[in-house]
Amino acid sequence: EVQLVETGGGLVQPGRSLKLSCVASGFTFSSYWMYWIRQAPGKGLEWVSSINTDGGSTYYPDSVKGRFTISRDNAENTVYLQMNSLRSEDTATYYCAKDNNNYDFDYWGQGVMVTVSS
């Protein structure tokens, strides 16, 4: 059974940093691209970052580029999201998701809440 479990969320002040982790199980982690997708309270979904299978290529939308960094450890079946210079508009539930090798997100974690507030 595929499982994705995110940790690391919480309350953080504007301008500070936070690192999210997502531990994967139930599939060959190193064979799939991984993603972070967020959802602000009561809002829609926003793609935040992508990483290829060996971690050599990463992608971000302009809203987080230069502030967020995605990485992965295939030995530990874990994908990370380092978030720096956090802003109030980064407040959201952050989901990690697995790619089905078709640019669709076929499995999602339960999500972790990040609140940016003073």
Partner 1 sequence: DIQMTQSPSLLSASVGDRVTLSCKASQNIYKYLNWYQQKLGEAPKLLIYYTNSLQTGIPSRFSGSGSGTDYTLTISSLQPEDVATYFCQQYNSWYTFGAGTKLELK
Which residues contribute to the site for partner 1 (CB under 8 A)?
Answer: 35, 43-47, 50, 59, 61, 95, 100, 102-106, 108-111
* Least gap, CB of 64 to partner 1 (angstroms): 13
First to last CA, the chain: 40
Q: For residue 51, what are the CA distances in angstroms to 1, 30, 60, 82?
A: 22, 11, 9, 13
Q: For residue 17, what are the CA distances in angstroms to 30, 81, 99?
A: 27, 11, 27
* Least gap, CB of 117 to partner 1 (angstroms): 22
Cβ nearer to partner 1, comparing 86 with 96: 96
* Least gap, CB of 107 to partner 1 (angstroms): 8
Cβ nearer to partner 1, comparing 103 with 118: 103
Residue 58 forms beta bridges with which residues?
51
Cβ nearer to partner 1, comparing 10 with 61: 61
Q: Which residue has the tokens 């829609």?
A: 44
